[in-house]
């Protein structure tokens, strides 16, 4: 081999690792859809978990990752518009935070991979064909079963034993609502509780619902997951306090904001865990072949300060099971 040819070959070989490194470091885009209001405590916690989960797996914004984040502000129509925008953009993977976000994205694309967190009954909602082999472009991490609604009802009775009427406040835009309601209404008679339903879409309907609940003696309420109530946390907690109503909430951030009690999953950790699937899809795996996983960490949190303000005295048996007491 002539010296000139050898030098040329050597130079070409040295460029191969550089080309591979450049390809490996090319920026990938993840579209993220939240139902919360931008800048809210819960939205900030969720996006921080997304970033942290991806960072730990080697994805860094400004180096090999771009996040395109949209916030639904608790409005189902807005969620649909944002979902369509994300699906049309140049994204490699979509991430849906909770059921309503997934429902919106599911309607817009059957080809772009979607990873979800905090979704109830993905089979019943028609998002996937099976838990073991989802089969389409969607996979992710579920939150809890509909039977948790009975746990919320039981918790309300433990906190306020005199409760005879339990109102359920929910956003009808959440496709999982009917599943919760059917289980709750079936079990309520065993707890000697009458259940009423209050669909809400905006602050006015929320206030009307709480006023109606307060107008009936020995009443309390609990919330089902959904976008409209989630962005009105402060209003709902304030109304519950003003009308001296015991209330149980579906996620921890409600109790951090002054709500009485929460039982359920660690949804922030679930968002962080879901990034493992985003990572695997970015590295070439198919959503159709990644089995649906389930939340495993549940916690009970009681705001004792709120309980005392409502004249409630949670029994020691309940406090002993509580993971955190806020005083």
Under the banding of pLDDT at 50, 70 and 90, the label for residue 296 is: confident
CATH architecture label of 148-265+299-326: 3-Layer(aba) Sandwich (3.40)
Q: What is the DSSP letter of 61?
A: B
Q: What is the three-class DSSP state of 206? A: helix
Q: Give me the mean pLDDT over the 145-159 stretch.
A: 96
Domain ranges within the chain, ordered by starting residue: 6-143+266-296, 148-265+299-326
DSSP assignments along 14-28, one per residue:
HHHHHHHHHHHTS-E
Q: Give me the mean pLDDT over the 52-64 stretch.
A: 97
Question: What's the mean per-residue pLDDT of the chain?
Answer: 92
Residue 9 reports pLDDT greater than 90:
no
C-alpha to C-alpha distance for 72 and 95, rounded to whole angstroms = 14
Asked whether the domain spanning 148-265+299-326 has the same topology as the one spanning 6-143+266-296, the reply is: yes
Tally helices (H) and strands (E) across the chain: 13, 13
C-alpha to C-alpha distance for 122 and 304, rounded to whole angstroms = 35
pTM: 0.87
Class of domain 6-143+266-296: alpha beta
The Cβ-side half-sphere exposure at 258, using a 13 Å CA radius, reads: 15
C-alpha to C-alpha distance for 257 and 313, rounded to whole angstroms = 20
C-alpha to C-alpha distance for 146 and 274, rounded to whole angstroms = 21
Neighbouring C-beta atoms of residue 11, cutoff 10 Å: 9
Query: Model confidence over 161-186: pLDDT tens digits?
Result: 999 999 999 999 888 899 999 999 99
Exposed e or buried b per residue across 41-73, where buried means at least 16 C-beta atoms within 10 angstroms of its C-beta: ebbebbbebbbebbeeeebeeeeebbbebbbbb
């Amino acid at each position: 081999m002539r010296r000139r040819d050898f030098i040329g070959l050597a130079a070409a070989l040295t460029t191969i690792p550089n080309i591979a490194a450049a390809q490996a470091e090319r920026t990938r885009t993840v579209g993220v859809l939240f139902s919360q209001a931008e800048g809210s405590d819960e939205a900030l916690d969720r996006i921080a978990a997304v970033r942290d989960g991806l960072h730990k797996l080697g994805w860094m914004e400004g180096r090999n990752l771009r996040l395109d984040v949209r916030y639904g502000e608790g409005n189902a129509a807005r969620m649909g518009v944002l979902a369509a925008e994300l699906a049309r953009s140049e994204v490699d993977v979509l991430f849906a935070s909770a059921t309503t976000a997934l429902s919106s994205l599911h309607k817009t694309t059957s080809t772009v991979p979607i990873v979800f967190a905090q979704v109830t009954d993905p089979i019943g909602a028609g998002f996937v064909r099976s838990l073991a082999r989802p089969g389409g472009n969607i996979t992710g991490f579920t939150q809890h079963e509909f039977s948790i609604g009975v746990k919320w009802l039981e918790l309300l009775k433990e906190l306020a034993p005199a409760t005879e009427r339990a109102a359920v406040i929910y956003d009808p835009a959440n496709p999982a609502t009917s599943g919760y309601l059917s289980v709750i209404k079936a079990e309520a008679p065993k707890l000697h509780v009458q259940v009423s339903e209050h669909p809400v879409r905006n602050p006015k309907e929320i206030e009307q619902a709480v006023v109606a609940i307060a107008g009936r003696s020995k009443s309390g309420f609990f919330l089902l997951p959904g976008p409209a109530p989630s962005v009105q946390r402060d209003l709902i907690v304030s109304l519950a306090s003003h009308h001296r109503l015991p209330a149980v909430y579906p996620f921890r951030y409600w109790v951090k904001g002054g709500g009485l009690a929460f039982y359920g999953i660690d949804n922030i950790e679930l968002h962080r865990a879901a990034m493992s699937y985003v990572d695997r899809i970015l590295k070439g795996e198919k959503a159709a072949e990644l089995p649906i996983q389930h939340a495993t960490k549940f916690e009970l949190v009681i705001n004792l300060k709120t309980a005392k303000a409502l004249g409630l005295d949670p029994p020691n048996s309940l406090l002993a099971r509580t993971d955190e007491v806020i005083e």
